[in-house]
Amino acid sequence: MTERLRFKVEGMDCASCAQVIERGVGRLAGVSEVAISTTTETLSFAAADAGVAPAVERVVRELGYQPRRIGTADVPADADAGHAGHDHGDHGHANHGHDDGEDDHDAPIDGPWWRSGRGQLVVASGALVGIAFAAAHFFPAAAYWIYLAACLIAGAPVVLHAFRALRHGSLFTIEMLMTIAVAGAIAIGAAEEAAVVVFLFAVGELLEGVAAGRARAGIKALAAIAPTTARLETAGGVVEVPVASVPIGAVVVVRPGDRVPADGTVLSGASSVDESALTGESMPRPRKEGETVLAGSINQEGTLRVRVEKPATDTLIARVVKLVDEAAETKAPSERFVDRFARSYMPAICLAALAVAILPPLVAGEPWETWIYRGLTLLLIGCPCALVISTPAAIASALAAGARHGLLVKGGAAMEAIGRVRHIAFDKTGTLTEGRPRVTDVRALAAAGEAEVLSLAAAIGADSSHPLSVAIVAAAQERGVTVPQGEGSEALAGRGIRG
Active-site amino acid positions? 427
The answer to whether 91 and 174 are in contact (CB under 8 A) is yes
Which residue, among 97, 187, 212, 167, has the nearest Cα to 368 in the 3D structure?
A: 187
HSE-CB of 454 using CA atoms within 13 angstroms? 22
CA-CA-CA-CA dihedral for 263, 269, 273, 279, to nearest 10: 40
What residues does 66 pair with on adjacent strands? Answer: 10
HSE-CB of 418 using CA atoms within 13 angstroms? 14
Let me know if 106 is exposed, middle or buried by CB neighbors in 10 A (0-12, 13-18, 19+): buried
Distance separating alpha carbons of residues 494 and 487, to the nearest angstrom: 21
Tell me the pairing of strands 304-308 and 271-274. unpaired
Distance separating alpha carbons of residues 308 and 251, to the nearest angstrom: 6
The answer to whether 90 and 168 are in contact (CB under 8 A) is no
The answer to whether 174 and 222 are in contact (CB under 8 A) is no
CA 392 to chain centre: 12
Distance separating alpha carbons of residues 72 and 85, to the nearest angstrom: 22
Please count the helices (runs of H) and the strands (runs of E) in the chain. Answer: 15, 15
